[in-house]
Amino acid sequence: MSADIPASSGLGSAPRSNMRAALIVVLSFFLFSGSDALVKMLAVKFVAPQVTFMSTIVALVALFATTAATGRMKALIPRHPALAITRGVLLAADALLIHYAFAVLPLEEAYLLAFLAPVFVAILAFALLGERLSPVAWAGVLIGFLGVAVALRPGVAPLNLGHAAAAGSALLFALSLVLLRRAKSTESDSALISTTLVIQIILAFGAPLLYGEFLPVASGDIGLAVITGLLAFAGHALLVRAFRIGDASVVAPFQYSQIIWGCLYGAVLFAAPVEIYTIIGAGIIIASGWLVLR
């Protein structure tokens, strides 16, 4: 499950808070990547939307349980339904695409293309919001696409629909961030998350019916789906916590740590080799994101 980074910045700015936030967010993305690796394992047996459906139900139940335990059930209802639903559709489609990418690509390759989101945000903000980009930001945009070319070597290494799905996922995620930037919403995190999860369940249930029915699920697979959903939920809870106690400028770049976790999970669980071109391309893309966000 891809990380939905909160749009609001953290409240604390002291060095100690930022250090704690950095440690928390590293753990958050470790858990997110673990969930993504389990999605890839489940996708061996089931179509990607069915995997999304199973893990999202678990995450939604966990959200309801924790919210009920704190007596904040009203926070799950959006104050601005149109915004929440539109953003939810974008992020639900984003999840379906990235889960398909996880199913057919090595994790690190899917992450590489997902990391283009900051580049797409810059382009969309220029095209849709009229925001002016500095020469440094435009250089970052071009460098980002160069990094993808180095990592994936089109024309040398074969490309497939998984690469298109991962790039499409990054574009949809960027659209969701631009939507929040334009709306300047005061919506609660819980309402945005719950709306996204509900829409994700609906879309994930309907997608397999277009090209195949849901397959029966064995008890072992149910357990794996439960762990997948809980890891994603825990990762998101930690991510929100990190943004609450640390500066956004410190916390956000740690999303790039997923390339490390992706390589680690890929090597341990799938015996996937780590290509030198992947490492070089990832470094270039990370540098491009830093330039765009300056």
In sequence order, the β-bridge partners of residue 157 are 154
Q: How far is CA 105 from CA 34, 109, 162, 236, 266, in A?
A: 15, 6, 6, 23, 10
- Is the pLDDT at 119 greater than 80, yes or no? yes
- Taking the C-alpha atoms of residue 133 and residue 88, their distance in angstroms, rounded to an integer, is 28
Is 233 contained in some domain?
A: yes
Is 120 contained in some domain?
A: yes
The enclosing H or E element of 69 equals helix 48-69
Is 279 contained in some domain?
A: yes
Is 125 contained in some domain?
A: yes
Is 6 contained in some domain?
A: no
Residue 75, classified by CB atoms within 10 Å of its CB into exposed (0-12), middle (13-18) or buried (19+), is: middle
Question: Structurally, how many domains does the chain consist of?
Answer: 1
Percent of the chain with pLDDT over 70: 88
In terms of residue numbers, what domain contains 55? 15-293
Q: Closest by alpha carbon to 90, among 6, 181, 199?
A: 199
Is 143 contained in some domain?
A: yes
Is 73 contained in some domain?
A: yes
- Is the pLDDT at 31 greater than 80, yes or no? yes
Give residues with Cβ within 8 angstroms of 31, minimum separation 6: 231, 232, 234, 235, 238
Coil/strand/helix, residue 154: strand
In sequence order, the β-bridge partners of residue 154 are 157
- Taking the C-alpha atoms of residue 78 and residue 91, their distance in angstroms, rounded to an integer, is 16
Quick: pLDDT tens for 141-197.
889 888 888 888 876 678 899 999 999 999 999 898 888 766 555 677 788 889 999
pTM of this structure: 0.84
- Taking the C-alpha atoms of residue 258 and residue 52, their distance in angstroms, rounded to an integer, is 20
Is 10 contained in some domain?
A: no
Within 10 A of 224 (CB to CB), how many other CB atoms are there? 20
Coil/strand/helix, residue 105: coil
Out of 12-21, 144-153, 270-279, which region has the weakest mean confidence (pLDDT)? 12-21
The mean pLDDT of 94-105, rounded to a whole number, is: 94
- Is the pLDDT at 64 greater than 50, yes or no? yes
